[in-house]
Structure 1
């Protein structure tokens, strides 16, 4: 797994799209880390599966942290090896306000060193992990779980985001 102080690997992935009013669109958008970092820091939330109960808790916990104020100060991406079509339905059911990106071949998870050989009899899926990346592309927070049921300490992540100056 990447450590604090490492340079975050660049990526471009397809993901769920929303219009300017926050409504789901039927098309697929493309997201790159470098483009997002031009505007603000980025929080990457790797998770195992869209509809797994522990993943639902993880992704929805992130969505429900209104005190986190992520929409204004930090770009949030959820990333798993599920398809964009599965992501779209999951985001719709959970009314998620941030894009879910499809790392269908696991290459991005591998570049962050969080690609698991096997979880729940599925091969090559992302481990639950969180990376907070500053605008220079440096990892400022890194966490990874041993099992899908583990959750990050959102208070620690909030503390790490407080170190960023407003953009």
Structure 2
């Protein structure tokens, strides 16, 4: 069952590109979270999306949010990907797609893992979902707009957009 707007984000622990264990619950109460699921390191679309998040990372940080990417690639693959493109945020390895399945991220018609971005507020509530395989920049733009609206109006109920 897919996560919806207003649901509490499921807690999980995965390994990051540095080999450290990352637990989502450790950030709750401290920051909003932009959690983006992407198909694969070093592919054209995933590289564009990740670099778009990189290019706006300082703005996300200034707005009180942390960006986290998740794919099934290994921690070593993530480390090389992050190094090659100077990605300043955490990339998590979900090799068995357990967390992807927890969130209900669909596969595409091409049988690739889907590309979905979730914005989670400081309390762990999902406020925005954007699902599009093709519009890489919109993942960043919509996440940033949502983060800014959360900071301006904490009672925002959120929305889901599919392109």
Range class of TM-score, shorter chain: 0.7 to 0.9
TM-score, normalization by structure 2: 0.82
CA distance in 1, matches of 2:49, 2:141: 14
CA distance in 1, matches of 2:97, 2:110: 13
Whose strand fraction is larger, Structure 1's or Structure 2's?
1
What SS does structure 2 have at the residue aligned with 1:70? helix
Moved more, 92-101 or 111-120: 111-120
1:52-92 deviation line (CA, Å, top 9, x unaligned): 101000111111125x6122411111100000000000000
CA distance in 1, matches of 2:121, 2:86: 27
What SS does structure 1 have at the residue aligned with 2:31? coil
Matched, 1:150 2:135: yes
Deviation at 1:4, TM superposition (A): 1.5
Q: How many residues align?
A: 149
CA distance in 2, matches of 1:102, 1:156: 24
Whose helix fraction is larger, Structure 1's or Structure 2's?
2
Runs of 4+ in 1 over 6 A off after TM superposition: none
Match of 1:138 in 2: 125
CA RMSD of aligned residues (A): 2.1
Match of 2:98 in 1: 107
Match of 1:78 among 63, 66, 69: 69
CA distance in 2, matches of 1:117, 1:127: 6
Deviation at 1:156, TM superposition (A): 2.6
TM-score, normalization by structure 1: 0.81
Alignment of 1:56-75 (within 5 A): 56-65=47-56, 69-72=59-62, 73-75=64-66
Which segments of 5 or more consecutive residues in structure 2 lack a partner in the other structure? 153-163
Which segments of 5 or more consecutive residues in structure 1 lack a partner in the other structure? 18-27
Deviation at 1:118, TM superposition (A): 7.6
Q: 1:132 touches 1:142 (CA, 8 Å); kept in 2?
A: yes
What SS does structure 1 have at the residue aligned with 2:135? coil
